[in-house]
Chain A
Amino acid sequence: MNAIETEGLTRYYGDLCAVDNLNLSVDNEIFALLGPNGSGKTTTVLMLTTLLAPTKGRASVCGHDVQREGEKVRRALSYVPQDMAVDIKLTGRENVRFFADLYGVPHAADRVDEALAVMELTDRADDLIRTYSGGMRRRLELAQALVHEPSVLFLDEPTIGLDVAARKRIWEHIRALRRKGMTVFVTTHYMDEADQFCDRVGIISQGRIAALGTPAELKARLMKDVITARVEGPFTPPEVDGVAFVGRSGDEVSFTAGNGREALPLLADALKNNGCVVRSMALREPTLDDVFLQAVGRQEEPQGFAFDKFRIMLRRRK
């Protein structure tokens, strides 16, 4: 049994298809749903957390159907939405205790202390949230979400609006949860974070999965490494295994290679043997950004901005 399973999951807002026939299985990993704004990430999470009914298809969390067994699903998961919602007039401890009470956690006081300690908030636990930084508020939300030890954690844009250090810290915490066996489902549009911290990513565009796999797989599948070199003298394209010549512009020549790091010295030798002087070489690995752009295409809105549909969508989302 996978922690999260969807089968033909579909959601329409009016005649706008926000999520289109989504099939996913996620288990015991950090799974990131990547996509541009309005691609259906949040809608998917809302359906999986029982906050929105699917139009078609089904989904289950820990073996419980999201539509028929809502309460069991909600018992198994925790959800941290995108907008940071913590009570600023309450202390950190009170905020977490509130959630412990709502979950009906036994030995609530101890569990609250534990959750605060895991998120490194013990020192500030009795301060009002008003005095917390953005990163601390996010960690407090994670502490709220962890207080009942869920099997599945849903995080909608967990690092949005945070500075670099705070982001890194949040991700380290997420990694630690994953090591303890929790399944983490995140949505984000920060490619570098997904690349660095997630086990598997699904790129979603217009409600459909455009690419699915580990970041390394996706990068390997969709693109090769890019090598550029500045050369002087007579140039003839060298024959090196696994390297393809792409083109020349001025004194710059470019190649693609399956494994750029290994191809780099071979290519340098081959160029020298062919009689040209190599001034500089650069190797660029494809990033998830490249994969994303290749999978999704440039995000130009083809038929202008559909205000009506957008309004319907906003109204439903509130």
Chain B
Amino acid sequence: MNGIVAYMKRDFLKWGRGRVAVVSSLVMPAAWLVFVGLALPVQFTGNYLDFIVPGILVMTMLTAGLSGGALLMFDKILGFLNKFLALPAPRSSILIGKILFITGRGLVQATIILAIALLIGASLLDPVQYGITYLVLFLFGVLISGFATTIALYLEDHDSYAAFNTMISMPLFFTSSALMPYSVMPGWLAMIARLNPLSYAIDAVREVTAGGFPAGAILLLLVLDAAFLAICLRVFRKVTI
């Protein structure tokens, strides 16, 4: 446990000192909120901003998770990992600490995006709803960062990982339910969107804002998290010994 906290603390300190990275990671989701959320003329809802906020929050977690995937790979390439592996702290805490940091960083960014959304006119929810929203975002963040870290460790090369990141981030976003409800999608898109894990998280947050409790989605995310953490731990063990 000490190990996990120490690894997270290191990453948060480093992140906080890179001011450009902190701001730049917020630009894209904020731009979506303002330029799409406020400007897109849609017919299916009276308040498009409220409709798109869950999608943008999940997108923020997605970008944070995918860009964080390279962190552990860099620790490996730069020789940090060898030092960490020779320490008595459990080796799995290196991986868990990293996934929790990436997820935590995503949640910080999502909070700022949420604040911007409220400033430009999104509806305020009650504290319990925010609590459940954060739970969903957290579970989704663990899923994405576990997935991204596994891929990066497996590819073992920064350029390949960057290419992979560019390749999947936009398609994942556009084939989710972030921008429109299933009812107005063409049939083929609706089919893909229902399978897209982003949609699970987005739909879950929408259910929360509508006053419900997305038990099914949370359970599904929990199962996926467990599965991906198990895979990630396996790959991690394989590349470290």
- B238, chain A: closest CB distance, angstroms: 12
Cβ-neighbour of B5 out of A81, A84, A94, A101 (below 8 A): A101
- B87 near A83 (CB under 8 angstroms)? no
Cβ-neighbour of B88 out of A71, A85, A318 (below 8 A): A71
- Tell me, in angstroms, the Cα distance from A80 to B84 when the chains sit together: 10
Closest B residue by C-beta to A77:
B86
Which of B72-80, B160-168, B207-215, B222-230 lies at the interface? Answer: B72-80
Chain B binding surface, main DSSP class: helix
- A102 near B86 (CB under 8 angstroms)? no
The bracket for how many chain A residues form the interface is 20 to 34
Closest B residue by C-beta to A76:
B88
**A234 at the binding interface (Cβ < 8 Å):** no
> Given A101-B5, A102-B3, are A87 and B14 also a contact pair (CB < 8 Å)?
yes
The 4 closest A-B pairs by CB, nearest first: A83-B79, A101-B6, A85-B79, A79-B86
15 A-B residue pairs with Cβ-Cβ distance under 8 Å, sorted by A, are A52-B241, A79-B83, A81-B79, A81-B82, A81-B83, A85-B83, A87-B10, A90-B10, A90-B17, A98-B10, A102-B84, A102-B87, A104-B89, A154-B86, A318-B77
- B191, chain A: closest CB distance, angstroms: 41
- A89 near B17 (CB under 8 angstroms)? yes
- Tell me, in angstroms, the Cα distance from A222 to B11 when the chains sit together: 52
Closest A residue by C-beta to B75:
A85
- Tell me, in angstroms, the Cα distance from A50 to B88 when the chains sit together: 11
> Given A81-B79, A85-B79, A318-B76, are A51 and B85 also a contact pair (CB < 8 Å)?
yes
- Tell me, in angstroms, the Cα distance from A101 to B79 when the chains sit together: 19
- B20, chain A: closest CB distance, angstroms: 12
- A53 near B79 (CB under 8 angstroms)? no
Residues of A within 8 A of B (CB): 49-53, 71, 74-75, 77-85, 87, 89-90, 94, 98-99, 101-104, 128, 144, 154, 318
- B14 near A89 (CB under 8 angstroms)? yes
- Tell me, in angstroms, the Cα distance from A49 to B85 when the chains sit together: 9
- A51 near B86 (CB under 8 angstroms)? yes
- Tell me, in angstroms, the Cα distance from A89 to B9 when the chains sit together: 13
* CB-defined contacts of A89 to chain B, threshold 8 Å: 13-14, 17-18
- A102 near B6 (CB under 8 angstroms)? yes
**B2 at the binding interface (Cβ < 8 Å):** yes
- A85, chain B: closest CB distance, angstroms: 4
* CB-defined contacts of A71 to chain B, threshold 8 Å: 88
* CB-defined contacts of A52 to chain B, threshold 8 Å: 241
- B78 near A83 (CB under 8 angstroms)? yes
- B82, chain A: closest CB distance, angstroms: 5
* CB-defined contacts of B83 to chain A, threshold 8 Å: 79-81, 85, 144
